[in-house]
Structure 1
């Protein structure tokens, strides 16, 4: 534990946060930049005395629970949170399971791509964020249970109420093979995550195809650069597929775009107007 560096780091992080940032009144007699020590302590759910001793380099090593509270109170980034743990002599423990928390900047990016269908998947291929056009092209993910947002589960086990396998995409079989390989690698990274374990067990029990792929022990996967969706309202939509890895959270941003001036671009433009409404259903 580096008490002096920890104290300086906490003080610098506290002084950069304004009361308004955390919903506190500024007050008139505020002689220190940023938060007061007692305010930081309150937000971290620790005593003011203990927090003061931390900033004075006189406190014993904080527990992981205290470090989590400090990270939350001081609004630390992932990199800053890891640095805090190392200064305290308690390197952050590896995550139990895949992260489902999407960075705000990535969420903003999704919605700044109005002409592209974009979504984020976790390490287990669960769709955890999406923009409106992705919902119109594939499915309104907000209308289905979280369990059914997992693409590996969908391709091998359904449900596919409209009879289209995995949203009518042309590479459903290829995607399934790649997804099975990726899931094996994910299961190795998160051996103690109950959700990942349950997902694999369900797939092995419910799909002979998945079981065969699982037994191959392959972990590498190729990704299609172009695919076609057979959409029930606008017909075939051919898109280019690009994927951006968010390494620190073990997530992936998938972006579908159509060739400019093509019928598929016009179909996406129409879908952006139609949205997720079902025009083929009366009423």
Structure 2
């Protein structure tokens, strides 16, 4: 079965070149698919993963998103830490950093923090995209105000119909138009039945409720896209999802699929 369309900038070196050759950063009135510009102060737990050696310096080397779940711990998508994306195992990427407290990637705002270690969920399956989460440990801790709590299983934030917001610096059109400023898109949590109908298997991938959740709008037009992988999906002030995969961006009947954060809570512990 062909792989689903994974929402990272690269699954191979050729995809990395797409970002480097993408059009100039979008203007201020352009938005993440169906979203709007936001300042980092509105979501201080949203961070960018960076490697200028791999992705160039135009947008500070951003290639994925992440979310601060402990002062020295960033949760992201496992596929963001793969050798296919980074060109080498993450431990061999000399300039792997997390950019925090920065709205516009082209500015000097905030800080760029080296990563001291990485960990990928050993149950991650790159073929099915189940268990798609990993962790980066920061050399310097961030303030407590930068941390967002992770929602455990049974949290009301997972209830279908709950308003949610996804954040990122990814593609704003679905046509490789990458933004330099943080964007947010309003979505709603969808039922497992809706997600299973959208992704029953085959070319578009299979939705696995125990590991995933999906969010979007019935008419489409609101979504994460390429470059947003690893970024946060937030509802009721808690982290419920990590951008993982989907078919296209903002397409009706093809909502974005997220790693269900309650699975990460089980593995990592719920003390954040």
TM range (shorter): under 0.3
Greater fraction strand: 2
User: Could you say which structure has the higher helix fraction?
Assistant: 1
TM-score, normalised to structure 1's length? 0.24
Say which one has the larger Rg: 1
Q: Normalization by structure 2: what TM-score?
A: 0.24
